[in-house]
Amino acid sequence: MALHRFWRVYITESNSGADNFIRGYEAEFRGSVGGADQCNGGTASASHNNSTAYKLFNNNGASDYWLSGGPSAPCWFQYDWGVGNAVGVAEWGFTPGNSSQTPKAFSLQWSDDGSTFTTLSSWSNVTDWIGGAQKLFAIAAPASIATQWDCPYALLSPVSQQWDEGWDVIQKVMADRQWSLEYGQTVDRQWEVPWRRWVEQAWECPISYSPYEPKSQFAVFPSLPGLSWELKKTPEFRTSIQTASSGREQRGAFRAYPVWRFSLLFDWLRAGNPRYEYETLQGFILGRRGSFESFLFLDPTDSTCTDMPFGVLSSPAARSVRVTRSVGSSRQCF
């Protein structure tokens, strides 16, 4: 419940007719429904007959009263708890001098500076007043809050089945164990070592047991935590003699064709990366058939070799991956 220095009742319509009179014996602002009046030690004021506004809060009952003076719509009366003080209001009450000079449409408002007021709750068409009898108005909770912990909701199936049978109704309604230690530990475990291992295992050997066996369902270029990578394609040219015969003629020609070298540069940006990092990267290249169709994996006889062994190094390093392809009795080297 929010606490504020000023609380007032702002009246926009009276049951008295055109004169719009309001006559009151007592007014109360309570901190809880059915609780005690909090109007002590502060200052009362009103829009009309301000000098007698204190009579609404002096607990003298019908011995004296405040009269708005009319025409009095709108009018208000308020209570100031003073500098450094603030209260919350869950219920307020009003004892009218008679049944006709009573509020019909009104709002409960609060302020922290005495000039800008915010409406907390409003009522309209209130006509069932009895002179000299106090009428109480409880502050309505927002609908979402009122129903969030509603007992029938907690007991409805299948919601109630989510709770252990040993829990009583109060525990179900208040959900007092929702953020208990046991629940917190369950959340924590998602980020503890076992969970991280599951993530690492997903990347350790994405193409079956060997990083050299392509598997289509894992054909995704690596997006590993903490990995920065770049793939460079460098052309190298070779020449060969190819002959063709037709009838009695035989022709020979030199033909140049490109040989491509693919260099994979990568850097692990943090510690604690999955095991077999380099084997994993090499396996991804083999498994990534679709994305490199223009220059890589155009033939099922492709295989790989490396300029130097893959392995775990203590510092970032670059490695070249060479792809070879069988062409007749010879091999192309990429």
Q: What pairing do the DSSP bridges indicate for beta strands 249-268 and 227-246? A: antiparallel
Residue partners of 259: CB distance under 8 A and separation at least 6 = 235, 236, 237, 238, 332, 333, 334
Judging by beta carbons within 10 Å of its beta carbon (0-12, 13-18, 19+), is residue 166 exposed, middle or buried? exposed
pLDDT, residue 246, reads 54
Percent of the chain having pLDDT more than 90?
Answer: 36
- The pLDDT of residue 224 is 54
pTM of the model: 0.45
Q: How far apart are CA 52 and CA 330, in angstroms?
A: 112
Structure tokens at 26: 């007592």
Q: Which two tokens stand for residue 211?
A: 């990083």
- Tokens read off for 212: 């050299």
Question: Residue 283: its pLDDT value, please?
Answer: 60
What DSSP string runs through 281-297? HHHHHHH--GGGTTTS-
Residues of the chain with pLDDT under 50: 145-192, 194-221, 254, 257, 288-334
Cβ-count burial of 230 within 10 angstroms (0-12 exposed, 13-18 middle, 19+ buried)? exposed
Which pLDDT does position 129 carry in this prediction?
96
pLDDT digits (tens, 9 = 90+) for 215-233: 333 333 455 555 565 656 6
Tell me the domains of the chain and their CATH numbers: 6-140 (2.60.60), 145-178 (no CATH), 208-333 (no CATH)
The Cα–Cα gap between 1 and 85 comes to 15
Quick one: pLDDT at residue 237? 56
Question: Quick one: pLDDT at residue 20?
Answer: 85
Q: Residue 309 CB: number of other CB atoms within 10 A?
A: 7
Say if residue 55 is exposed, middle or buried (CB neighbours under 10 Å; 0-12, 13-18, 19+): buried
Give the pLDDT score at 37.
96
The angle at the Cα of 234, spanning 232 to 238, to the nearest 5 degrees, equals 155
